[in-house]
Amino acid sequence: MSKLEELKLELKNLGQEYAKIKTLRESERKAFGEQVNRRKQELLARIKALEEEASSAKVSPIDITAPFAENAKPFTEATGTKHPLTVELDHVAEIYRQMGFNVIEARQLDDEFHMFDSLNFPAGHPARDGYDTFRTTEGFIPPAHTSTMQYRALTRFRDHLEKYGQIAVVVPGRVFRNEDVDATHEHTFYQCEGVFVSKTATLGQLLATWKNFFETYYGQTLNIKTQPGFFPFTEPSLEFQIEKPASLGGKGDGWLEMGGCGMIHPNVLKTAGIDPEVYKGFAWGGGIDRLVMLKYGINDVRYFESGKLEFLKEF
Ligand code: DAH
């Protein structure tokens, strides 16, 4: 029973005390009556006080149609800000949007088919072990790269080939790898995947597309370099490097590895229901955390997932 309920019960019971007056001797009646009355006044006052307190503590209903309530708190440091990776992921998506790409978000739990089979990893191939994938006891896979979204991007936008003559999609997403964590390795990080398909897609367009993205992101022209790579889902496959941007202390002599890319393997197109005899595609994918670390001079990738307020308050 709450204090308020207790007091109300006592007030109710006080009625019986009045009835007792008649049973008392004449000389005792006055004093007893006064005593009961005093208690009654006391109880009424305390009940009133408690009821007022309770009603003022009640939250007034929110009018969601009001743009700003008069007493609304302004957004301050104390209300928080967007995480630097969220801000940069939005920025990355916006650049690609302006280049004409659709943007879809990656999943955070996936399966063997999207992680490997749809990407032309042969069953039992050692390349399946190269991604340090986590697995749930039910056999699901938290994606180790955003390439898991290639099949979904291709099938979801397949009708664009007829309608617009091309598929153009980028997929930012969170990825997970079971590896040792240090200043440059996190088990949880972000990538952005790109997929483009048309009848005339070329490797030159791939390089120009990704170069253009980096130049827009860093706000300056950049040299690029590629090296042969290997990914089962592209043929040929390349590793993509950019020159360290001058605004970040580069002098045209340092190269930064930004990710992998290549012409989409015919088997990947075929699995997604696209005829590789008619259409060609290119794909690319790279880390976002490194991009952001470079931009802001952040020297430890672990800060991103640490929840450290001193770090987050700088953004
Ligand atoms: N998914 C690869 C990785 O995380 C990077 C990559 C390589 C993405 C080639 C692509 C690609 O789209 O075509 O290592």
pLDDT digits (tens, 9 = 90+) for 124-156: 888 888 889 999 999 999 999 999 999 999 999
CA of 231 to the centre of ligand 1 (A): 7
Q: Shortest CA distance to 150 belongs to which of 23, 282, 258?
A: 282
Long-range contacts of 51-60 (CB under 8 A, 24+ apart): 51/4, 54/4
Q: CA angle at residue 233 from 227 to 239, to 5 degrees?
A: 15
- What are the Cα distances from residue 273, in Å, to 79, 146, 216, 227, 279? 48, 20, 34, 30, 11
Q: Is 216 helix (H, G, I), strand (E, B) or coil?
A: helix
Q: What pLDDT sits at residue 246? A: 82
Question: How many Å apart are CA 193 and CA 168, to the nearest integer?
Answer: 11
> Quick check: CB of 231 below 6 Å from ligand 1?
yes
Q: Residue whose CA is closest, atom 8 of ligand 1?
A: 285
Question: How many Å apart are CA 308 and CA 306, to the nearest integer?
Answer: 5
- What are the Cα distances from residue 6, in Å, to 10, 50, 171? 6, 12, 62
Phi and psi angles of residue 284, each rounded to the nearest 5 degrees, phi first: -150, 155
> Quick check: CB of 145 below 6 Å from ligand 1?
yes
Would residue 34 be called left, alpha or beta, if left means φ above 0 and alpha means ψ between -120 and 50 degrees? alpha
Q: Shortest CA distance to 286 belongs to which of 258, 262, 255, 264?
A: 258
What does 231-296 look like in DSSP terms, one character per residue?
-TTEEEEEEEEEEPPGGGT--S--EEEEEEEEEEPHHHHHHTT--TTT-EEEEEEEESHHHHHHHH
Bridge-based pairing of strands 280-287 and 255-264 is antiparallel
Question: How many Å apart are CA 111 and CA 118, to the nearest integer?
Answer: 10
Q: Is 103 helix (H, G, I), strand (E, B) or coil?
A: strand
Lowest mean per-residue pLDDT among 151-160, 187-196, 243-252, 263-272: 243-252
Q: Please provide the distance, in angstroms rounded to a whole number, between the alpha carbons at the two ends of the chain.
A: 50
State the Rg of the chain over Cα: 34
Compute how many other C-beta atoms are within 10 angstroms of the C-beta atom of residue 76.
Answer: 8
Q: What pLDDT sits at residue 170? A: 98
Lowest mean per-residue pLDDT among 72-81, 130-139, 185-194, 277-286: 72-81
Which residue did the predictor score with more confidence, 37 or 191?
Answer: 191
Query: Residues 57-114: pLDDT tens digits?
Result: 666 676 767 666 566 666 566 677 889 999 999 999 999 999 999 999 999 999 999 9
Record the pTM.
0.76
Question: How many Å apart are CA 236 and CA 185, to the nearest integer?
Answer: 27
> Quick check: CB of 262 below 6 Å from ligand 1?
yes
CA of 285 to the centre of ligand 1 (A): 5
Which atom of ligand 1 lies nearest, measured to the CA of 146? 1
> Quick check: CB of 244 below 6 Å from ligand 1?
no
Which tokens is 288 given? 């976002």
Residue % of the chain over a pLDDT of 70: 92
> Quick check: CB of 192 below 6 Å from ligand 1?
no
Q: CA angle at residue 52 from 48 to 56, to 5 degrees?
A: 175
Q: Shortest CA distance to 124 belongs to which of 112, 135, 140?
A: 112
Question: How many Å apart are CA 312 and CA 315, to the nearest integer?
Answer: 6
Q: Number of H helices and number of E strands within the chain?
A: 11, 7
Distance of CA 298 to the CA centre of its chain: 20
